[in-house]
Amino acid sequence: MDLWIGKKPHSISRINSAVIVRILYGSGLRISEAVNLRICDVDLINGVLTIWETKYDKDRLAPMSKSLIAACQKHFDAFLKNSDTKDFFFSPNGGKRKYSTQAIYNIFRDALFESGIPHRGKGLDRRLHDLRHTFAVHSLKQMADNGVDIYTTLPKKFSSHCLRHSKAMHLLQSGVNLIYIRDFLGHVDISTTEVYAKADPEMKRNALEKAYMQLAPETVPVWQNDTELLSWLKALGKK
Which stretches of 88-224 are DSSP H helices? 101-114, 133-145, 150-153, 162-173, 178-185, 190-196, 201-215
C-alpha 190/C-alpha 180 separation (Å) is 10
- Indicate the pTM of the whole model: 0.52
Question: pLDDT: is 77 or 10 the higher one?
Answer: 77
- What is the per-residue pLDDT across 112-146, written as a single tens digit (0 to 9) for each? 777 776 666 666 554 433 433 344 455 556 767 78
Give, in order, the Cα–Cα distances in Å from 99 to each of 42, 117, 189.
17, 24, 29
C-alpha 11/C-alpha 33 separation (Å) is 22
Question: pLDDT: is 195 or 77 the higher one?
Answer: 77
Percent of the chain, pLDDT > 70? Answer: 54
Beta carbons of 129 and 108 less than 8 angstroms apart: yes
DSSP designation for 75: H
Burial profile 83-99: b = 16 or more Cβ within 10 angstroms, e = fewer: beeebbbbbeeebeebb
- Span 204-226, mean pLDDT? 54
Structural domains of the chain, with CATH: 2-160 (1.10.443.10)
Beta carbons of 69 and 18 less than 8 angstroms apart: no
- Which residue in 133, 157, 131 sits closest to 143, CA to CA? 131
Whether 9 shows a pLDDT value over 90: the answer reads no
Residue 38's DSSP bridge partners are 88
Residue 16's CB is within 10 A of a number of other CB atoms, namely 22
- What is the per-residue pLDDT across 88-103, written as a single tens digit (0 to 9) for each? 999 888 778 888 888 8
Q: E strand or H helix at 69, and its extent?
A: helix 66-79
Residue 106's CB is within 10 A of a number of other CB atoms, namely 14
